[in-house]
Amino acid sequence: MISYRSIAKTLLLSAVLLLGSLLATNVSAQDGKTLFSTNCAACHAVNKRSTGPALAGVEDRWPDKTKLHAWIKNSAAFLKTGDVYANNLYNEYNKTAMNLFPGLSDKDIDAILGYIKSVPAPGSEKPAAGAAAPAPEGDNSLLFGVLTLVLAVVALILLRVNSNLRKLSIERSGEASEEEIPFWKHKSYIALIAVVLFIVGGYLTTKGAMGLGRSQNYQPVQPIYYSHKVHAGTNQINCLYCHGGAQEGKHSNIPSVNICMNCHMSINEYKGEKIYTEEGVEVDGTKEIQKLYKYAGFTVGKPFDASAAKPIEWTRIHNLPDHVYFNHSQHVKAGKVQCQTCHGDITKMDEVKQFADLSMGWCINCHRETKVQFKDNGFYSIYEKFHQDLKSGKIDSTKGITVEKIGGTECQKCHY
């Protein structure tokens, strides 16, 4: 009996450890994704050549991980070391210098690389499944799960074999055998199964409960097929042209019809690349512009009367709970954060979907890592001690003054 117990303990322990490691990879891949979209996504795609090379398999291409880290942190300095691979790369991309990232720690870079690794190759995924794409880390957990199951079955079989053998040996030695208890009635097994079920169930329940009210990847169908890719991507319209409120106040307002009509009074038809819905149905851009005209009460060739316009009922994608105070201008104007940091690569989205899960952990994480405009913004001149410490080197200048350092993770920065 004693041996069973120890085995049960080991199994329990390994199950806990396994779950723990699952959670851990989950977190760092999440970080990596955020870091990637903040720092890299402007020039790199994982599977597509963009301003810079496609990053899938980057670790295999580089001869040495330390070199890769050095290159990412400060590419200009690394070029000067005369590294052949780096210089070839530099030349291949028309001597476009890569941005410097002194702020990224080794851990951050590992997180980014981890994320790149976790993105599946384009062939392995159906192109239309974007909305319901399995989380990248899902593959691993499935593998681990199967592995655990196989091991558990093997362990079970071994235990049965062991007990049968022992029984045989006892019988052979002529001692009176205990009454046979079938293993499904055996208390130890029942307890073991109960514990495993409790842990797995608890994990799933907690995860589910935490996910309540969150809607990452939410991508509703909007009354007008408005393509951000066409507007902000192809035509490079500044985000703030339409969402001007983002630099003035709390809300980054959805533009009113009169803002749309500023351009669409003269742009009556869509002549660009073909656009498709998520289901792969082609969208007639011109027809969508006609929908706008219907709301605006506009007929081509006649003057536009803004007062006759009717508002468009868009479906809201990004929702924060009422007990959270979020101010766009704080981030866009004071913090100089790019829209893409939180909204993802909006210039590549036809239909917008929610990029981040908008969880508190996600907010806090960014507040821990993001530096404030400490030297540039006069507001921070009152933090004299920090300025001195920065100068004297007491505070690591590469880390700088993060939002957290000036109280950006305190409760009443967002909850009041």
Partner 1 sequence: MEQKKIWQSFGELNQSEAFNKDVKDEFKEELPFVAEDGKSFLEAKAPRRDFLKYLGFSTAAAAAAASCEMPVKKSIPFANRPEEIVPGVSKYYATTYVQDGDVVSVLAKVRDGRPIKLEGNDYSPVTGGGTSARVQASVLDLYDTARLRFPTIDGKEVTFEAADNSIAESIKGATGAVILTSTITSPTTKEVIAQFLAKFPGSRHVTYDAVSYSGLLLANELTFGKKAIPSYMFQNAKAIVSLGADFLGTWLSPVEFAKQYAAGKKINEKSPEMSKHIHFESVASLTGSNADEKFLHRPSETAAIAAALLSAVKGSEVSIADKKLKEGIEKAAKALNANKGAALVVSGSNDVNVQVIVNAINDAIGAYGVTIDWASTLNYRAGIDADFVKLVEDMNAGSVGALLIHGANPSYSWFAADKFNAGLKKVKTTISFNTKLDETSVLCKYVLPDHHFLESWGDAEGKSGYISLIQPTINPLFKTRQWQDSLLKWSGASADYLAFVKNYWSAKVGGETGWDKALQAGVINPSLALSAVKGSFNSSAVAAAITAATSGKKGGAVEIVLYEKVGIGAGQGASNPWLQELPDPVTRATWDNYVVVSPKMAKELVKIDLNNNGQADAYEVNPPKPCVKVTVNGKSIELPVLIIPGTQENTIGIAVGYGRSENIGKAAAGVGKNAFVLAGLSGATVSFSADATVTATGEKYPVALTQTHSRYDTAQGNRTEVMKELTLAEYMANPKEILNDREEELKPYGGIEKFEGQGTIYPVYNRPGIKWGMSVDLNSCNGCGACVVACNAENNVAVVGKPEVLRGHEMHWLRIDRYFSGDMENPNVVFQPMMCQHCDNAPCENVCPVAATNHSSEGLNQMTYNRCIGTRYCANNCPYKVRRFNWADYTGADSFPDNQEGIVNDVVLNMNDDLTRMVLNPDVTVRSRGVIEKCSFCVQRLQEAKLTAKKDSRPLEDGDLKVACQQACPTHAITFGNANNKESAISKVRVDNPYRSFYVLEQLHVLPGVTYLAKVRNAEEEKEAKAEKKEEKKAEKAETK
**105 binding partner 1? (CB under 8 A):** no
> Any idea how long the chain is?
416
- The stretch near partner 1 (CB under 8 A) out of 93-101, 188-196, 339-347, 405-413 is 405-413
Q: Which two tokens stand for residue 334?
A: 């004071």
Q: How far apart are CA 208 and CA 195, in angstroms?
A: 19
Pick the binder of partner 1 from 256, 277, 397, 398 (CB under 8 A).
256
Minimum distance from residue 12 beta carbon to partner 1 (Å): 27
Which one of the spans 28-36, 112-120, 184-192, 314-322 is the region binding partner 1 (CB under 8 A)? 314-322
Contact flags string 205-224 toward partner 1, x per CB under 8 A = ----x--xx-x----x----
Q: What is the 3-state secondary structure (H, E, C) of 6-71?
A: HHHHHHHHHHHHHHHHHHHHHHHHHHHHHHHHHHHCCCCCCCCCCCCCCCCCHHHHCCCHHHHHHH
Pick one of 262, 319, 397, 398: the residue that binds partner 1 (CB under 8 A).
319
Among 156, 224, 334, 337, which residue sits at the site for partner 1 (rule: CB under 8 A)? 334
The stretch near partner 1 (CB under 8 A) out of 52-60, 80-88, 266-274, 384-392 is 384-392
CA distances from 209 to 176, 202, 203, 205, 271 (A): 53, 10, 10, 6, 46
In the bound complex, what is the minimum distance in angstroms from residue 304's beta carbon to partner 1? 10
Report 260-289 residues binding partner 1 (CB under 8 A): none
What does the per-residue mask of binding to partner 1 show for 290-309, with x meaning CB under 8 A?
-----x----------xx-x
Question: Contact region for partner 1 (CB under 8 A) — 44-52, 176-184, 330-338, 342-350?
Answer: 330-338
- Establish if 248 lies at the interface with partner 1 (CB under 8 A): yes
How far is CA 243 from its chain centroid?
Answer: 23
353: left (phi over 0), alpha (psi -120 to 50) or beta: beta
Residue 203 touches partner 1, criterion: CB under 8 A:
no
Part in contact with partner 1 (CB under 8 A); list of ranges 71-79, 152-160, 252-260, 266-274: 252-260
- 145: its two tokens: 């799960």
125 versus 389: smaller Cβ distance to partner 1: 389
Amino acid at 288: E
Question: From the list 21, 315, 397, 398, which residue makes contact with partner 1 (rule: CB under 8 A)?
Answer: 315
Find where tokens 């851009």 sit: 285
Cα–Cα distance for residue pair 130/229, rounded to 1 Å? 15
- Choose between 190 and 221: whose C-beta lies nearer to partner 1: 221
Least CB distance from residue 247 to partner 1, whole Å?
Answer: 9
Q: How far is CA 203 from CA 151, 152, 197, 222, in A?
A: 21, 19, 10, 35
The CA distance from 410 to 271, in Å, is 50
DSSP secondary structure of 171-182: HHTTPPPPPP--
User: CB of 266: closest distance to partner 1 in angstroms?
Assistant: 19
Tokens (6 digits) for 247:
């630099």
Given a contact cutoff of 8 angstroms between Cβ atoms, the answer to whether 228 and 349 are in contact is yes
Positions touching partner 1 (CB under 8 A) are 209, 212-213, 215, 220, 244-245, 248-251, 253-259, 295, 306-307, 309-316, 319, 321-323, 325, 327, 329-330, 333-334, 376-386, 406-407, 410-413, 415-416
